[in-house]
Structure 1
Amino acid sequence: MPKLTNPPPKKVDHFNGGNGLVILQAIAGPDILKDKCRLYMKRTVEKGCSIGFHPHRGDEEIYYILSGHGLYTNKAGHWDAGPGDALFCPNGDSHSIVNAEDTDLVMIGLVIYDTDPVPVIKKEGTPMLEKLPPKIIEHANGGKGRIILQPIAGPDVLKDKCRLYVKCTLAKGCSMGVHQHKGDGEIYYILSGHGLYTDNDSTYEVVPGDATFCKNGDRHGLENIGDEDLIFMGLIIYDK
């Protein structure tokens, strides 16, 4: 069954030495991430709370902000971060984030193993990854309508661990056609909307909070069967 069964959200006080409460929701575990990524999870930082300042050794992390605003800190300084921002902490650096707003700060955290002894150095120490323009694909993999792909990180960050990391939007009635994965696998994590997921020869409905996995050699697709946009994260992990 490709729908991933993850543990219930975990509430952690003083996460990495921070203030207050952070809610952690695993998206995929080590059986899926294997030796490519250490963790992939949704994090909710409540008002006045924070993820404490902590180092990364042997891995690197991307924060992708879904909603809310935070103050991000690394060794070089402080940056305001809001929805759509992707912040990168390379191997050897340290970082933290504080929610100083009245609403929850919600983000996706992806930690990727890094065996490269030369870390990625961003200009003037900024953690902000370049915002690339969205890519619009008509009839993606033979699907209906179009899909909008918003790149989050490129090959300079993903390296040989992941092939693609994007936020995807399917409008009402549109679909990602059924396609096979060769040499990699893909995780879909549903953020909003209502979809019909195809797993090889089976189909089932997916809703916000669902995560699916298409392993190397299998086929999958996704159709928006709701009245609103179907928005989901797509992460393709190499399998080699």
Structure 2
Amino acid sequence: MTVINSKVANIGEMKLEHFEKGDTFESNSVRIGTLLGAKDLGYSYDVVPPGKRSCPFHSHRGEEEMFFIVKGSGTLRYGSETRKIREGDVICCPTGGPETAHQIVNDSDADLAYLSVSTKMAAEVCEYPDSNKIGAYGGNLRHLTRIEHDLDYWTDEVP
């Protein structure tokens, strides 16, 4: 990979890492921001094979995301809606709850490649409407639980 002053890289020259989970999730991707030393934004390049998705349907309470479709076509799930997406599309995913949940699905017969950019927050809460999970992330904390496992603020605090 060619890197100029550690701040410029070409996606065509990057080594992509393969990820696969079950029959649904698969991608080849690279965390570009980490490689180039980005501080406040995270950015990645993902190539999703036909019939796959790179991540679960989710929303963010702290981080805003943007996707730019580099090549191919597919479907965007966004809240309760779906729409076709294609090369050149820019997708905005602001913070919010299930109404801003999003997922890119490659339902075409060719690779779908996109760049994602997100704000980097020290702490984040994500919701996963398809599986009724909530994830809390920050530092070394990575905790997922079910929405129905609601505890009162005072549970086990008062003897």
Q: Same fold (TM over 0.5)?
A: yes
Normalising by structure 2, we get a TM-score of 0.61
Which residue is equivalent to 2:113? Answer: 231
- SS of the aligned residue for 1:175 comes to coil
- SS of the aligned residue for 1:153 comes to helix
Alpha-carbon distance, 1:239 to partner? 6.5
Q: Say whether the 8 Å CA contact 2:7–2:37 is kept in structure 1.
A: no
Change beyond 3 A, Cα 1:155–1:192: closer
Between 1 and 2, higher relative CO (CA 8 Å, sep ≥ 6) is seen in 2
Count of residue pairs the alignment pairs up: 114
Alpha-carbon distance, 1:151 to partner? 2.1
Residue by residue over 1:105-136, the C-alpha shift from the partner in whole angstroms, topping out at 9 and shown as x without a partner, is: xxxxxxxxxxxxxxxxxxxxxxxxxx6x5333
Out of 151, 165, 176, the residue aligned to residue 31 of structure 2 is 151
Alpha-carbon distance, 1:215 to partner? 0.8
Paired-residue identity, %: 20
CA distance in 2, matches of 1:151, 1:221: 18
Out of 65, 75, 81, the residue aligned to residue 10 of structure 2 is 65
Q: Say whether the 8 Å CA contact 2:7–2:36 is kept in structure 1.
A: no
Q: Say whether the 8 Å CA contact 1:194–1:208 is kept in structure 2.
A: yes
- SS of the aligned residue for 1:173 comes to coil
Amino acid at match of 1:236: S
Normalising by structure 1, we get a TM-score of 0.42
Q: Say whether the 8 Å CA contact 1:216–1:239 is kept in structure 2.
A: no
CA distance in 1, matches of 2:101, 2:62: 12
Out of 37, 45, 48, the residue aligned to residue 170 of structure 1 is 48
Unmatched 5+ stretches in structure 1: 1-60, 67-82, 85-130
Residue by residue over 1:23-81, the C-alpha shift from the partner in whole angstroms, topping out at 9 and shown as x without a partner, is: xxxxxxxxxxxxxxxxxxxxxxxxxxxxxxxxxxxxxx944435xxxxxxxxxxxxxxx
CA distance in 2, matches of 1:179, 1:239: 16
Out of 68, 73, 76, the residue aligned to residue 194 of structure 1 is 73
Which residue is equivalent to 1:222? Answer: 104
Unmatched 5+ stretches in structure 2: 1-5, 123-159
Q: Say whether the 8 Å CA contact 1:172–1:228 is kept in structure 2.
A: yes
CA distance in 1, matches of 2:61, 2:18: 23
Q: Say whether the 8 Å CA contact 2:8–2:36 is kept in structure 1.
A: no
Which structure 1 residue ranges, 4+ long, deviate > 4 Å from structure 2?
none
Out of 85, 94, 109, the residue aligned to residue 206 of structure 1 is 85
CA distance in 2, matches of 1:156, 1:191: 20
Which residue is equivalent to 1:111? Answer: none
Alpha-carbon distance, 1:143 to partner? 8.2
The 5-angstrom pairing of residues 98-177 of structure 1 reads 133-139=15-21, 144-154=24-34, 157-159=37-39, 161-162=40-41, 164-176=42-54, 177=56
